[in-house]
Structure 1
Amino acid sequence: MNKQILARIKKKLYHVHIVSLQNFFFYRLPETFTPDFHDKNAVLQMPTNPLGKTGLHVSKISFGASSLGNVFRTTNEKESLDVVREALQKGINYIDVAPWYGHGMAEEVLGRALVGIPRTAYYMATKVGRYKPEVDKMFDFSAERTLQSVDESLQRMGLDYVDIIQVHDMEFAPSLDIIINETLPALQKVKQSGKARFIGITGYPLKNFKTVLEKSTVKIDTILTYCRACIHDNSLQDYIPFFQERGIGVINASPIAMGLLSNRGPPEWHPAQKDIKDACAKAATFCRENGCDISRLAMAYTLGFPGVDTTLFSTASLENLRKNMAAVNSPLSKQEHDILNDTIKRYIDPLTCHHWEGVEVEEYQRQLQGIQNDGTFKLG
């Protein structure tokens, strides 16, 4: 055979081999794929990322179950159950919840939604440390309450274990030393007992993550941050290299900043200062007047944020679920890109402060100090 022809054949075969490998990795089904449950084509269209060094491959967007606890509005339970089932069937494989959401309600509704769904079809994360609406009963980071909380969560959800157990909102502890010396060692016992596979920490102040990660003797696998990779506040980018160096999985929550970046606007309890709320409201109006939905722009901005393994969104609406899932494979048009950039320049860049760090903690401490015997003070 002519050497030139043979060379061309080898080159063609090499090209086919490389393309096949690329297709294999791009279309690889995650380990959570369960043929009798999942919509295979939908799962193939959902990108996944490694979650730090855990070995888990999580969907690019994941489901935050706080909405199931009536946190944002009164929900319809049937629709809530349908939302969870459809989210999992269509390729979302990571769920995040907490006892705090609806004060147990979110975990209970989630437990009902998971009935009949194979446990291998999803990863589950819940939290410890934040519980009741009464200020003096809201937080408890003690080892005893931590161990009890895990058992309560598993019972509410009807599960034998969770994939990730997390400390909820560390900044509200009297000291981070309690988290480091008491809560995390308790979670290590939970992990050793087989009730959790990995350990995570959550909160709003980004500097706390660095402090705890550097001081903890317990291995921490993930961090969960929220409202820090958004149009109005992108400060998470300053911490991504630190997390990556340590192999920490980065879970980002609330791409629309708990309603700030939406046409409906934030709930009354939202902790942002007035200037931030006003700027975001004007931004939403500007986008709407230019034929764009600010929530779609916000989701696209967050999904393009480097160093984030998965982004949590929460909804109890099938319509919103489908809109958020469609956003994964629906890039912004040039017009939308231009409007997004213009929105940031007009309304976000002029802000002197882009976050509300310390606001909630100060209010909590004020109410805790002034609490009366009848316990009437509540937060949120």
Structure 2
Amino acid sequence: MSEIGSGMTQHRTRTGLAVPELGFGTAQFGNLFRETSDEDSAAAVESAWESGIRYFDTAPHYGLGLSERRLGAALAGLPRDEYVLSTKVGKLLVEDANGVSRMDDEGFVVETTLRRRWDYSRDGVLRSLEGSLERLGVDRVDIVYLHDPDDHWAEASTTGFAALAELRDQGVVGAIGAGMNQSAMLARFVRETDVDLVMCAGRYTLLEQGAEDDLLPAALERGVGVVAAGVYNSGLLSRPRPPADAQYDYADAPAEMLDRANRIADVCEAHGLTLPEVATVFARRHPAVVSTVLGLRTPEQVAGAIDRFAVEVPDALWRDLESAGLLRRTAAAES
């Protein structure tokens, strides 16, 4: 594989796949919460490429295939060996039995005849990946994650994982894992299966560090890379000051979370930095974290992400947050 991620650090998985330290999450390409245009999506990828971003993440779930189609169109013509591409399986897209088209009810502004069906069987995994390849317009993806198997541990950890392991062993994919909005089950995947990577969304952020109780120590012990996603906690940390109607875990933020975010912002401002700048930098302090994936929608957001990712946060800021009880004192992050 050619050099990936101009000027960016890369971390190699146990299989040898090089994963850039900054990734582009494309849920917004699936019209998450509001519509995005094809033009903005293409321009965002072009801007990311020019900035040196070489890791792109998507999923069938994002807009019922719309994200994958838009990402594939935006990547078309770019050298395939120069970027890492990940998608997910477990939420198989199937046609509505009656051919009825309706608006999606899971946060994506799309109208389609496609529906999601939980399926971690071998056939479901293979069919899902085949559909993703077709929508993306590529002959391979580099990383495949089991997507949100919260209520499906038995099937996902057996038939689902076995199907991905088979693809990895055949050299069809470079690395396999699971992606979730919780850390406890991800820790089980790390301890009880042979995953290479896990994507943890929202559980290791400047706002909350629950993944330190289970996932991160297990990942360090087993040599499994952690990809940190959802670092703004659904938007709560995405502005210098969170608005009263800020979202947390895809719902209205509780008052105590709003208060905590504002107190963290106070400390950031005292050091001349903003809440989103420090939130962007935070996750990669931990040695288990190999990449940070940021959800982006437009070229302007890409430029902002690049700037925030390059910010240098003084050790004094972390110490002040710890002293105020707003950040755990973590020996692993200091190593």
Asked if the contact 1:204–1:226 (Cα under 8 Å) also holds between the matched residues in 2, the reply is yes
Which of the numbers 34, 54, 68 marks the counterpart of 1:93? 54
Partner of 1:14: none
Asked if the contact 1:112–1:157 (Cα under 8 Å) also holds between the matched residues in 2, the reply is yes
| Deviation of 1:103 (Å) | 1.2
Q: How does 1:193-232 map to 2 (within 5 A)?
A: 194-216=171-193, 219-232=194-207
Distance 1:254 1:118, change over 3 A: same
One-letter amino acid matched to 1:60: E
Asked if the contact 1:221–1:249 (Cα under 8 Å) also holds between the matched residues in 2, the reply is yes
Partner of 2:157: 180
1-structure distance, mates of 2:121, 2:105: 18
2-structure distance, mates of 1:131, 1:283: 41
Matched, 1:278 2:229: no
Asked if the contact 1:262–1:284 (Cα under 8 Å) also holds between the matched residues in 2, the reply is no
SS in 2 for 1:255: coil
2-structure distance, mates of 1:54, 1:102: 31
Distance 1:193 1:300, change over 3 A: closer
Partner of 1:237: 212
Which of the numbers 272, 285, 305 marks the counterpart of 1:324? 305
Distance 1:69 1:283, change over 3 A: farther
Matched, 1:157 2:157: no
Aligned residues: 304
Partner of 1:23: none
1-structure distance, mates of 2:209, 2:147: 22
Partner of 1:139: 118
Which of the numbers 99, 106, 130 marks the counterpart of 2:91? 130
| Deviation of 1:341 (Å) | 5.7
| Deviation of 1:32 (Å) | 3.3
SS in 2 for 1:126: strand
Asked if the contact 1:167–1:202 (Cα under 8 Å) also holds between the matched residues in 2, the reply is yes
TM-score w.r.t. length of structure 1: 0.70
Structure 1 or 2: larger strand share? 2
2-structure distance, mates of 1:331, 1:269: 27
| Deviation of 1:349 (Å) | 6.5
1-structure distance, mates of 2:90, 2:126: 10
Q: Which runs of 5+ in 2 are unaligned?
A: 94-103, 107-114, 329-335
SS in 1 for 2:19: strand
RMSD (CA atoms): 3.0
TM-score w.r.t. length of structure 2: 0.79
1-structure distance, mates of 2:326, 2:256: 8
- Kindly provide the CA deviation profile for residues 325-372 of structure 1, in whole angstroms up to 9, marking residues without a partner as x: 1233321368xx54x66567668469xxxxxxxxxxxxxxxxxxxxxx
- Kindly provide the CA deviation profile for residues 62-108 of structure 1, in whole angstroms up to 9, marking residues without a partner as x: 11111211114322321211211222332222111110111111101
SS in 2 for 1:68: helix
Distance 1:134 1:299, change over 3 A: closer
Task: Report sequence identity in percent.
Answer: 26
Partner of 1:25: none
- Kindly provide the CA deviation profile for residues 189-230 of structure 1, in whole angstroms up to 9, marking residues without a partner as x: 4445654232111223322123234433xx321111111221
Q: Which runs of 5+ in 1 are unaligned?
A: 1-30, 35-41, 351-380
Asked if the contact 1:125–1:162 (Cα under 8 Å) also holds between the matched residues in 2, the reply is yes
Matched, 1:69 2:30: yes
2-structure distance, mates of 1:317, 1:187: 32
| Deviation of 1:162 (Å) | 0.7
Matched, 1:119 2:98: no
| Deviation of 1:129 (Å) | 1.1
Which of the numbers 81, 86, 95 marks the counterpart of 2:42? 81
Q: Which has the larger radius of gyration?
A: 1
1-structure distance, mates of 2:327, 2:16: 38
Matched, 1:32 2:24: no
Partner of 1:256: 232
Partner of 2:8: 46
Distance 1:105 1:267, change over 3 A: farther
| Deviation of 1:134 (Å) | 6.1
